[in-house]
Amino acid sequence: MSAFPTGRLALIAMATGLAASLTACASDDSGPSAGADDKAPTTIDATLAKSVSGATGNGKATGAPITVGLINQQGGPVSNPEFSVAAKAAADYLNAELGGVGGHPIEFSTCDIVSAESQGQKCGQQMLADDDVKLVVQGGLNVGTQSLHATLDGKKPDLVAVANPGPDVSAKNTYALNASSLAGKASTPIFLATKLQAKTVAMIADDNPGNQEIAKSIKQGIEARGLTVKLTTYPSGSADLMSPMQAVGAGRTDVIMPIAVTPTACVAMAKAYEQAAIKVPLVSSGLCASGAVRKALGDLPKWIFSGSLLNTNAPDPSGHVGLYKAVMNKYAGKGAELGINAPAGFAAIMAAAKVLAAAGADTPTVEKVSAAARAYTGPLLMGPPSLRFGVNPQFPTLGAQAARYYRYEGGGKWTDASGGWINLPS
């Protein structure tokens, strides 16, 4: 029997995938204190950190630096600064306490994409021109992916921390650690059918091209499962979402799935949900479980939150979330955002360190690092327990399309809505 009411309206707000989440995009409106976590653990599990990073040392890294290219989208209408902050915190921790990568401290060659597709080409050219960069780590990009991958053209390995539909899932020498919305495409239909027993689904998405691509990708996955889906579009930036919710037929469907990819959109969706007096489950990406949303509403909405990484607010017996929070608490600074794309940025640097260690940190070459990236199977911090690249001919860069679903009961209480990971690679 389903753990959720059947024959009633279920509102599912899919903001991507992540974890954080099922999306790659988030806005810079979280605020400096949005992610503050006064209960964050202070003891860092160095044993677990070594298992996910491949580190073998202790203390400060004193060797010659090893340079990682870091590409992120920030500074524009869609901005993910928390990704870069978390990536730096992970590197600072490895460099200060675990000897970096084989004794070599990690440094970054950074390039930000603000809002133009051509900026992806600029970042790709920067990475190719820097001979010290043997590995690129790419954040979630709402724009610039086409030109970035066309420029890199497989010449250097690219670890994609948050993948979007498009070249992220097909580019040469590219390895997507976090399937983001494509985890939702594969896992959400299973969740809807087996847990919510839905037959009809209504989706709401703004007219941002990247979000439309995410919505259509998830829609195709749900329809392939035999469910009927209706997609309604509204102007990006709208603060009042009552009209699109009514237009999509909120009272005449089993499930509603808004694509809410910024805290502002999550808050607007929550207000419309409350105003419409809908009293049934709502499932959202972990992006909507951010401090900014909690601050704006007074508490997180009582939804079911999905993501392709572990929910950093929910109980985690694996210790992964505790490690992440303890390091962020020490190295990211007080009040750093712990949600949105921060977990993906942190996990990606841990994975990058493990790839570089496997390639041989003393004499890394592009060829050796590429081979190590291709062979990487995890464990990915806060991610699926195992990854396998190249096994899905449709999405060859994806290591997994698995997701988790958590239900927020209010008052800080969480329950596991999916009973673990859904759709792990076999």
Q: Quick check: 11 pLDDT over 60?
A: no
- Distance CA(336)–CA(324), nearest Å, equals 12
**Domain span including residue 302:** 10-28+182-316+405-416
**Average pLDDT score over residue span 72-83:** 94
Does residue 192 or residue 25 have the better pLDDT? 192
What radius of gyration do the chain's Cα atoms show? 20
Q: Quick check: 206 pLDDT over 60?
A: yes
Residue 287's region, left for phi above 0, alpha for psi from -120 to 50, else beta, is: alpha
Name 12's bridge partners: 283
Please report the pLDDT score of residue 256 as a whole number.
81
How far, CA to CA in Å, does 236 sit from each of 2, 247, 261? Answer: 35, 16, 11
Per residue in 325-339, pLDDT (tens digit) is: 999 999 998 889 998
- The end-to-end CA distance of the chain, in Å, is 26
Q: What is the Cα 171 distance to its own chain's centre?
A: 19
Coil, strand or helix at 410 = strand
pLDDT tier at 372 (50, 70, 90 boundaries)? very high
Residues of the chain with pLDDT > 90: what percent? 60
Query: Looking at the domain assignment, is residue 82 inside a domain?
Result: yes
268 with 410, same domain: the answer is: yes
201 with 292, same domain: the answer is: yes
66 with 175, same domain: the answer is: yes
- Distance CA(157)–CA(425), nearest Å, equals 22
Please report the pLDDT score of residue 28 as a whole number.
32
Query: Looking at the domain assignment, is residue 424 inside a domain?
Result: no
pLDDT tier at 249 (50, 70, 90 boundaries)? low
Nearest by Cα to 32 from 98, 85, 101: 85
Name 21's bridge partners: 18
Per residue in 311-367, pLDDT (tens digit) is: 888 899 999 999 999 999 999 988 899 988 999 999 999 999 999 999 999 999 999
Name 406's bridge partners: 305, 416
Nearest by Cα to 295 from 13, 33, 27: 33
118 with 207, same domain: the answer is: no
The full 3-state SS of 33-72, as one line of letters, equals CCCCCCCCCCCCCHHHHHHHHCCCCCECCCCCCEEEEEEE
297 with 164, same domain: the answer is: no
213 with 290, same domain: the answer is: yes
Query: Looking at the domain assignment, is residue 215 inside a domain?
Result: yes
Query: Looking at the domain assignment, is residue 40 inside a domain?
Result: no
339 with 296, same domain: the answer is: no
**Average pLDDT score over residue span 25-51:** 63
Could you give the number of structural domains in the chain?
A: 2
CATH number of the domain that residue 237 is part of: 3.40.50.2300
Cβ neighbors of 161 (< 8 A, separation 6 or more) are 83, 137, 138, 139, 140, 177, 178, 341, 344, 345, 347, 348
Query: Looking at the domain assignment, is residue 174 inside a domain?
Result: yes
Please report the pLDDT score of residue 125 as a whole number.
98
Query: Looking at the domain assignment, is residue 1 inside a domain?
Result: no
Please report the pLDDT score of residue 29 as a whole number.
33
96 with 235, same domain: the answer is: no
121 with 219, same domain: the answer is: no
With contact defined as beta carbons under 8 Å apart, do 139 and 176 qualify?
no
Please report the pLDDT score of residue 186 as a whole number.
85
Please report the pLDDT score of residue 279 as a whole number.
67
134 with 269, same domain: the answer is: no
Query: Looking at the domain assignment, is residue 258 inside a domain?
Result: yes
205 with 349, same domain: the answer is: no
> For residue 186, what is the enclosing H or E element?
helix 181-191
With contact defined as beta carbons under 8 Å apart, do 82 and 340 qualify?
yes
Nearest by Cα to 99 from 273, 311, 353: 353
Query: Looking at the domain assignment, is residue 36 inside a domain?
Result: no
Sheet holding 133-138, edge to edge: 106-113, 66-73, 133-138, 158-160, 174-176
Q: Quick check: 39 pLDDT over 80?
A: no
Does residue 230 or residue 37 have the better pLDDT? 230
Please report the pLDDT score of residue 31 as a whole number.
32
Cβ neighbors of 290 (< 8 A, separation 6 or more) are 26, 30, 34, 35, 263, 266, 337, 339, 340
Please report the pLDDT score of residue 143 as a whole number.
94
- Distance CA(184)–CA(221), nearest Å, equals 8
Please report the pLDDT score of residue 330 as a whole number.
96
312 with 333, same domain: the answer is: no
Mean pLDDT of all residues belonging to the chain: 87
Per residue in 152-203, pLDDT (tens digit) is: 999 999 999 999 889 999 999 999 999 987 887 789 889 988 888 889 888 8
